Structure 1
Amino acid sequence: MAVETFATRGYHNASLAEIAERAGLTQAGLLHHFRSKTALLSGVLELRDTSEIERLGPERPRGTAFLDHLVETVRLNSTQEGIVRLYAVLSAESVTEGHPAQQFFRDRYEGLRVLVAEALREACELGDADPDLDVEGVASAVIAVMDGLQVQWLLAPRSVDMAAVTRRVLSALLSDLRPPAAGPGGNGPGGSGPGDTSGPG
């Protein structure tokens, strides 16, 4: 109800009257549960985050397992068009002045950058070494790819395989981050990509 309305109309154009009608409530009944449209928006965003946290389990995966989780999340998103549209619409809207979801998305991106950067370091066995490696920048690139793919997929779902492209980009970025091979003909400490144990094609 609220998810569909926010996803199709955005925050500013969504009305409590329409959301209440879709939910089979009066506007007064809706306001009994959520004191304002802002509170309703917060509830919708918190529900989305709670679902994602539950999928991670009690302890987040580490290294390539976390990167595999990102790919699986993208694959799952391709079956949830309404949720993907909600995120795309509200995250874009949140850059406007005074938007009630701005802090939510600012915190979300900051936290996600930290998680992805940690997973990249773990996957490449980097520790805190080599200040020349911009792991945080690579993490930002990973997130940008995932978000950009969502917009392309929403506009042309038959033309974009979000999970496959995400996996390909992660594999390329990991290859770029990993230290050089141990010796002539040797392999570096990692494989060819997240969850990928195959040799050269």
Structure 2
Amino acid sequence: MTDRERARQHLSQSPRMSKGERTRQRIIDSATELFSRSGYRAVSLRDIASHAGITHAGVLHHFPNKEATLIHVLSKRDAVDAPLVLDEGISHRELIDNIVRIVERNTGTPGLVALYVNLSAEATDPAHPAHEYFFGRYQILRELLVPAFAELLGDRPHPTPEVAAQQFLALQDGLQVQWLLDPGTVDMRGAVVSFLRTLGITVPDDPAGPAAPADPARPTGTDSTGGADPT
């Protein structure tokens, strides 16, 4: 069997997305970009349909309402990062290193950074559909980080592990806003590493191991094109 024949056989055996799955992915990609650009409240399902190049009915075929698209967008993003922070075998040292890797990886996905910045601000309203999501997300992160800092800070009296965890998260959130405004000047990873070093926590200049794979969603600024597709 030639190399070309083996390649053809491999491709024929590889799972392929159905037309419906491709359409669903296009909807999620468009929702991700539009929510990133304009926030959740300013975007309608018709906006998402137009951006994805399908009909409004086509979007409703896959998602019953706009809230469902939002939850799917957020869940999809978490699925990328979850193994780096939630796996039971991760040590406290590895948790901090992995979060630094996520910060570094985020510089390659500006659309998703904008999505979180915009939605987290909107979601401070208890009536927002993502309020419980972000409330729970920060709660989980603090629960993971407090024992990590308790171990890594050792006998250091200040800050307390609770305060260090809050500062660590607040620093990342603030850096994301500044980076979106001036990406050529703001070094998110460098600032996070500098903060950790002030606490006596050394982070390698070139962390070992790859970051989580970049999300396949299109970055901000791209458009979907194509004819109307009812499914």
What's the TM-score once normalised by structure 2's chain length?
Answer: 0.70
Query: What is the 5 A alignment of 1:109-120?
Result: 109-120=138-149
Residue in structure 2 matched with residue 185 of structure 1 by the alignment: none
CA distance in 1, matches of 2:106, 2:147: 23
CA distance in 1, matches of 2:56, 2:91: 45
Structure 1 unaligned runs (5+)? 176-191, 197-201
CA distance in 2, matches of 1:54, 1:16: 31
- 1:75–1:38 Cα change, 3 Å: same
Residue in structure 2 matched with residue 162 of structure 1 by the alignment: 188
Instruction: Choose from 64, 68, 73 the match for 1:39.
Output: 68
Q: CA shift at 1:60, angstroms?
A: 5.1
Query: What is the 5 A alignment of 1:62-141?
Result: 62-125=91-154, 134-141=160-167
| Contact residue 84 and residue 98 of structure 2 kept, 8 A | no
Residue in structure 2 matched with residue 194 of structure 1 by the alignment: 203
CA distance in 2, matches of 1:63, 1:57: 11
CA distance in 2, matches of 1:54, 1:134: 27
- 1:54–1:33 Cα change, 3 Å: farther
Q: CA shift at 1:50, angstroms?
A: 1.0
Q: CA shift at 1:138, angstroms?
A: 1.0
Report the number of matched residues: 176
Q: CA shift at 1:143, angstroms?
A: 0.1
- 1:49–1:60 Cα change, 3 Å: farther
Identity of aligned residues (%): 39
CA distance in 2, matches of 1:84, 1:170: 22
SS of equivalent to 1:73: helix
What's the TM-score once normalised by structure 1's chain length?
Answer: 0.80
SS of equivalent to 2:129: coil
Structure ranking higher on relative contact order (CA contacts 8 Å, 6+ apart): 2
| Contact residue 62 and residue 122 of structure 1 kept, 8 A | no
CA RMSD of aligned residues (A): 2.1
Query: What is the 5 A alignment of 1:20-39?
Result: 20-39=49-68
CA distance in 2, matches of 1:120, 1:9: 36
Structure 2 unaligned runs (5+)? 1-29, 206-231
CA distance in 1, matches of 2:79, 2:160: 30
